[in-house]
Chains A and B, each alone.
Chain A
Amino acid sequence: MSGTWLGMPAFPRNAEAALGNSRLRANLRKATHTIRARRAAGVDEMPGWAKLRARGAAVKDAALRDLDKHLLRAEEAVTTAGGRVHWAADAAEANTIVTELVKATGHREVVKVKSMATQEIGLNEALAAEGITAYETDLAELIVQLGDDLPSHILVPAIHRGRAEIREIFRDRMAAWGRPAPDGLGDDPRALAEAARLHLRERFLASKVAVSGANFLVAETGTLVVLESEGNGRMCLTLPETLISVVGIEKIVPTWQDLAVFLELLPRSSTGERMNPYTSMWTGAAEGQEFHLVLLDNGRTGVLADEIGRQALRCIRCSACLNVCPVYERAGGHAYGSVYPGPIGAILTPQLRGTATPLDASLPYASSLCGACYDVCPVAIDIPEVLVHLRARVPHPPAERAGLAAAGWLLDRPGRLRAAQRLAGRLRGLVPRRRLPGPGAAWTDTRDVPPVPAESFRDWWRRTGGEDR
């Protein structure tokens, strides 16, 4: 039913393959630059952004500090309001819970609101294995699902696709999933959005079970919050008889009033809008619906235990860090091999999944540490700090370890450094400028090597006392 992240090679190889795809690069470049400019305009307009950002970080920290109390409070509030709360330690358990809940309704089809948590646990695949079809309803998720593709962006999962490709996917694949694409469908985004509207309309009206995630869960009231743009979220949250929401435990905010901070931070960071078109909030069983809340750990408590890494749990999934990241812009989202791509993915995935695979171990290095991600993060996650922290934890290749050990030995004593500099100065004529051997070849593939000077600075200083130019 859809592609898989399993068995992907390490990030550098994936990125290199993506760099060779000129259409992908053009799509990504256009999209990231557009959304980057929109965010900048939205944030610049807002007075006191720095203060708001600091409060966002502080509220999340407060929520994480007493996460157990807040979760219990939310559980009580949701239960009091007629909902049922389930706890899932890992992906398998969450999938089992949701599958059983859907089966209990007697229905075999569910409509889905775009949700990172359900992608993280592979819910659609788990449901399919039990004969239940999950229909994605967000336009970009629909494009990904119809195209038997993988998401490549947190906010705009089909960001890697251009309009012509989307038209092809709709024309070729819509009929297999429901109402076919209209005859003579063009590639104007307006026409494509209309085709999606028609394709999903009857599905919404007939749907009995919906699965969602949530952007926020308010501990003191038990209120769930979903931000969206298209209205597919409202359709799924409102019309079906049964609603199942899978929510990561870090989505909690302590108080109702805390929402103000995030409703101001998230839309501007995410799409650059003052506010997204639709936000739904509900507490327990709304308007007679049957409501289930599945609280998901799946590695989050492990992240919480890491003093430096835990700040990643503040993330509100705005994707601002993806949009400014020069590495993401060139490598694309698939290279990260996870539903969480880009800078936040590079620190979240290795913490949630571990670093046992070559791909996961390579993610902390998928950054030049330029810091653009930290600058735009609305909850001030110091992504470069966490990347560096994780780099100290992953296994290092033996050749690199030997090289850095040798460099460390040289730099440890000024005398050793001076001796090495003198040796290099004497051999300077032998250093190839355009083709280094071994690992140095990665440098000289595209770059010349600077000439080695005859005399190092320290030897010059020693010789002249710094007087002679």
Chain B
Amino acid sequence: MRVGLFVTCVNDTLFPETGKAVVTLLRRLGCEVDFPMAQTCCGQMHVNTGYRDEGVRLARGFLDVFAGYQAVVVPSGSCASMIREQYPKLAAGMGASRPGAFASAHGGRSPFARAVAEVTPRVYDLAEFLVDVLDRTDVGAYFPHRVTYHPTCHSLRGLRAGDRPLRLLRAVRGLELVPLAAADECCGFGGTFAVKNAAVSAAMCADKVANVLNTGAEVLCAADNSCLMHIGGTLARQRAGVRVMHLAEILAQTEDAR
């Protein structure tokens, strides 16, 4: 299967190891991975901060770049959710019919809406792609550490990723998965929320960090590096001794590689 990798601007710029891990993992599982160089950003930060026009411009770029792929894999729950859940709403706001009963007065479908309808159903978060498309939970990984998992809001409530990431982690040899209390609660990142409402954001993260430390885990795992940058930055500030790792980086590790 030929897969388009949308690495996301944050991973591209700050967390290249996550992108490399996705490539390693998908190739190991027999996928042909392509990284279209024209990609940049899904537009989430702009749209969610209130700069819709700029965000839509970036969204158009994404749709152009990934129009031809059988599957697009995104190693970020929130970017995947932006594309799959929010693009259709943006399209609706631009004149397409709104889902739900209380519909828009304006019918019709714009070129943007058509592109959204065509591309977004084939966009997957990494865990979804592995479990639903490749039908794999055991990806042959080996990671002999005590790990806890934070599901992140947009995977959990946006994409409805459910227990897919946990099933993947449980199948990793050597890995001890310890449950995280109040896992479904937001860590407080929220994009620009982290700086616009820094005090509340930090208070939310303090509770998340306390729950992480209570697990006694060596590694906090999530499928979104933005949340991990926030939680990990707080852990680092506290010199807590807990590492943060993207799901892809754990799943990419094998016994041979050790």
Using CB atoms and an 8 Å cutoff, list the residues of chain A in contact with chain B.
11-12, 15-16, 19, 57-58, 61-62, 64-65, 307-308, 310-311, 326-327, 330-331, 364-372, 374-375, 380, 385, 388-389, 391-394, 396, 400-401, 404-405, 407-408, 411-414, 417, 421, 424, 434, 439-440, 442-443, 445-450, 452-453, 455-458, 460-462, 466, 469
Q: Tell whether B185 is near chain A: CB-to-CB under 8 Å.
A: yes
Least CB distance, A366 to chain B, in whole angstroms: 7
**Complex Cα–Cα for A374 and B160 (A):** 13
**Complex Cα–Cα for A11 and B205 (A):** 19
Contact B16 A457 (CB under 8 A): yes
**Complex Cα–Cα for A110 and B45 (A):** 51
Q: Mostly helix, strand, loop or mixed at chain B's interface?
A: helix
Kindly report which residue of chain A lies nearest to residue B61, judged by CB atoms: A412
Across the interface, which residues of B come within 8 angstroms of A449, CB to CB? 233
Contact B154 A368 (CB under 8 A): no
Q: Tell whether B173 is near chain A: CB-to-CB under 8 Å.
A: no
Least CB distance, A233 to chain B, in whole angstroms: 31
**Complex Cα–Cα for A330 and B44 (A):** 25
* A411 touching B234 in the complex, CB below 8 Å, given contacts A371-B154, A460-B20: no
Q: A308-B93, A374-B157, A408-B51 are in contact. List 17 more A-B contacts (CB 8 A).
A: A19-B199, A57-B100, A330-B204, A365-B192, A368-B190, A368-B201, A369-B193, A371-B154, A372-B157, A372-B184, A396-B50, A400-B192, A421-B13, A443-B195, A446-B202, A447-B236, A466-B23
**Complex Cα–Cα for A453 and B39 (A):** 19
Contact A364 B50 (CB under 8 A): yes
Q: Tell whether B167 is near chain A: CB-to-CB under 8 Å.
A: no
**Complex Cα–Cα for A461 and B39 (A):** 13
Q: Tell whether B237 is near chain A: CB-to-CB under 8 Å.
A: yes
- 3 A-B pairs with least C-beta separation: A368-B190, A391-B50, A447-B233
Kindly report which residue of chain B lies nearest to residue A313, judged by CB atoms: B102
Across the interface, which residues of B come within 8 angstroms of A366, CB to CB? 197
Kindly report which residue of chain B lies nearest to residue A417, judged by CB atoms: B40
Contact B200 A19 (CB under 8 A): yes
Q: Mostly helix, strand, loop or mixed at chain A's interface?
A: helix
- Chain B interface residue count, CB cutoff 8 Å, equals 74
Least CB distance, B182 to chain A, in whole angstroms: 9
**Complex Cα–Cα for A227 and B149 (A):** 42
* A455 touching B198 in the complex, CB below 8 Å, given contacts A370-B157, A375-B157: no
Across the interface, which residues of A come within 8 angstroms of B202, CB to CB? 445-447
Contact B198 A445 (CB under 8 A): yes
Set B37, B45, B57: member contacting A462, Cβ < 8 A: B37
Kindly report which residue of chain B lies nearest to residue A388, judged by CB atoms: B48
Kindly report which residue of chain B lies nearest to residue A371, judged by CB atoms: B157
Interface centre among B23, B195, B199, by most A CB within 10 Å? Answer: B199
Q: Tell whether B4 is near chain A: CB-to-CB under 8 Å.
A: no
> Can you identify 5 A-B contacts, CB atoms within 8 angstroms?
A12-B198, A370-B186, A385-B89, A391-B48, A439-B195
Q: Tell whether B7 is near chain A: CB-to-CB under 8 Å.
A: yes
**Complex Cα–Cα for A62 and B100 (A):** 11
Interface centre among B12, B154, B185, B200, by most A CB within 10 Å? Answer: B200
Q: Tell whether B165 is near chain A: CB-to-CB under 8 Å.
A: no
Contact A448 B154 (CB under 8 A): no
Contact A411 B16 (CB under 8 A): no
Least CB distance, A25 to chain B, in whole angstroms: 8
Across the interface, which residues of A come within 8 angstroms of B33, CB to CB? 466
**Complex Cα–Cα for A401 and B232 (A):** 28
Contact A450 B45 (CB under 8 A): no
Contact B193 A310 (CB under 8 A): no
